[in-house]
Amino acid sequence: MKAAAAERVDLPVTGMTCAACARSVEGALSQTPGVERAHVNLATNTATVEYDPARAAIGDFIGAIEGLGYGVPAGRAPELKAPWKARLMVAGLLAAATMAAGMAHGLPHAAWIELALTLPVIVYSGGPIYAAAWSAMRHRSANMNTLIALGTATAFLYSLYVTVRGGREVYYEASAWILALVLTGRALETRARGRASQAIRALSELQPPTARVLREGAELELAMEEVRAGDVIVVRPGERIPVDGEVLEGESAIDESMLSGESLPVDKGPGDAVFAGTMNRSGGFRFRATKVGRGAVLQQMIELVRQAQGSRAPVARLADVVSGYFTAGVLAAAALTFAIWLCFAPFATAMVNAVAVLIVACPCALGLATPMAIMVGSGRGAARGILIKGGEALERAHKIDAVLLDKTGTITEGKPRVTRVEPVAGFAEEELLALAASAESYSEHPLGRAIVEAAAARGLATQPSSGFISEAGRGVRAAVDGRAVWVGRAAGQPGVSVMVDGALAGAIEIADAVKPEAADAVRRLREMGIQALMLTGDSRAAAEAAARQVGIETVFAEVPPAGKAARVKQLQAEGRRVAVAGDGVNDAPALAQADIGIAMGGGTDIAREAGDIILMSGDLRRVAEALSLSRRTMRTIRQNLFWAFAYNVVAIPFAALGLLSPVLASAAMAVSSLTVVANSLRLK
């Protein structure tokens, strides 16, 4: 019996606050029968599970997550809702009041007043933190909530004991302020994460909620769920296109910047493809829906960005290993701090310093260091028409030092174009081109179409032709204005020759023109220290001519598709980190062999592209931009990891030596997480 294909589900998870939380959830999901792979992203609060549907169901995963004390809400992962805001407000106001009561000299029953003010903070504001810590302890795990709960509960219970005994040396304000600062940090962090998630949200909002569909001769306003492939859809100026399709009638200029990152509108007419989410700038038109729902390019983009933002880069493995043992190490450090201080100082001093160690060492920043940078970097790429398939591709891309560029369709436009018209004596340039275009008016050959297009671009009037004959491999014959015209290849000519009434009238040079931005793209790669090389199956003469125009010195020409992969392997054997940029069809073997495959102009079916990076436009400059983005993202990840590690290395000894109070420790902990988030947001 054939095994069922693996399915994938993304589940929003609430209650996670640090790397240890994410690791616990990931471990529980991985151990669930039927799960092939599980990954939890702290930055997006999302669990991604790949599973065998014959052996597991989504309910099993929800049960595993909730069994650890975390939640799985329906729909999107929640942001900071009103109850959390209310808890934060209560904690802030009462913490300030508690501090004021503690500083009021001579206030009767000051300790009892502080107790009354702190109790709502502990019970109401800190309730979810204590509940999560208790749930983790029941499952023999520890996380950031464990450290906060232990620290604040220890300070509160000790103060309660002193109050009941009639003493005044209490630490209620420490417990209240720690919880207030923790909640403040989480509120700011949630808001910052929301900014980092704007890429998916912005893409999702591009698709209009309804479409104007022609059915049985009537225009109907239908919800997107009701639109079917084959429907004829009407689009007016200023409206977004609801689904992918092909123009039937009408002409317009479409803003496709959400796909390609290009700001200039693209002219569309009958037969041209249009894509969901793009903006109709000018004329109205009708088109037939070809892809709806998840098959549309926009939905494929959203899915790829979501997968990339939920992925993990190999550089994160060190942080994963460290965070797995970190909480237990902090608990041991706090216990050791308490024991040593108790030998030389009063119980209260030992307790305060141990609490400071517990609070300052929360590993939240460590858990956010990598996913936040990947989330922002991949979102920034998507906004520029650059789709990077996950953290692993992002990490490999930043090491690239050589890029092999395909010629046809990558460096060049991929279609023949008239580059020069050379008439002989007795003929004018315009006359020669008009005669050739008239003769080729019925031709379907690419060279013939190039001649017709060149004449139209110059505004030349063509004349009716008769007796059209196409001779395979030789050219075409036709009668134009009473003259016999022959257009075809002649030996030694770079394009085509034109003969009129049996005599040579001139030659028309036709070539695959180099893209206007190609030279600038090669220059940008060179400035990044990356060598650009050409890899093509075209003739050496054509390849070297194109290479000279764009500034490429090394050319591998006349290489068949299978040989392209061998060339890549050869460069890799020399120690080079190689990227291949091509159209993803005949370049598929080379794209697969390369360290990074870059699929150019993947707008028509991005789901099946072979590349690690998909460029939604054919603009060659996007290659350098993609590699630059990977370098900046990896630099940000390293900075985040450095600061997260450095913070704990410095802060824990300060707290253990009594140089950092619990309240300052709580503030420092919040600042460390916000620093990582803010540094990642710089990528935007």
Identify the active-site residue in 244, 406, 512, 587. 406
Which tokens go with 133? Answer: 């810590």
Alpha helices in 574-683 (DSSP H): 588-593, 621-656, 662-681
Element (H, E) at 67: helix 58-67
Q: Does the annotation mark 406 as catalytic? A: yes
Euclidean distance between CA atoms 84 and 540, whole angstroms? 68
Backbone angles phi, psi at 291, to 5 degrees: -135, 125
Per the listing, tokens 């792979």 go with 37
Q: What strand order describes the sheet that includes 578-582?
A: 386-388, 613-615, 596-600, 578-582, 402-405, 531-535, 554-556
**How are beta strands 465-471 and 475-480 bridged, if at all?**
antiparallel
Please state, as a whole number, how many other Cβ atoms lie within 10 Å of the Cβ of residue 225: 8
Euclidean distance between CA atoms 150 and 306, whole angstroms? 36
Sorted by sequence, the CB contacts under 8 Å of residue 119 that are 6+ apart come out as none
Which tokens go with 541? Answer: 């003469």
Euclidean distance between CA atoms 288 and 246, whole angstroms? 5
Euclidean distance between CA atoms 672 and 659, whole angstroms? 18
Q: What is the DSSP string of 103-156?
A: H-TT-TTHHHHHHHHHHHIIIIISHHHHHHHHHHHHTT---HHHHHHHHHHHHH
Helix-, strand-, coil-residue percentages of the chain, each rounded to 5: 50, 20, 30
Q: At CA 510, angle to CA 506 and CA 513, rounded to 5?
A: 150
Euclidean distance between CA atoms 342 and 248, whole angstroms? 84
Which tokens go with 554? Answer: 């090394």
Residue 564 near residue 597, CB atoms below 8 Å: no
| C-alpha pair distances (Å), 80 with each of 20, 126, 377, 545, 616 | 21, 15, 24, 60, 35
Element (H, E) at 94: helix 82-103
Residue 341 near residue 357, CB atoms below 8 Å: no
Sorted by sequence, the CB contacts under 8 Å of residue 264 that are 6+ apart come out as none
Please state, as a whole number, how many other Cβ atoms lie within 10 Å of the Cβ of residue 491: 5
Euclidean distance between CA atoms 370 and 636, whole angstroms? 9
User: What residues does 421 pair with on adjacent strands?
Assistant: 508
Q: Which residues are catalytic?
A: 406
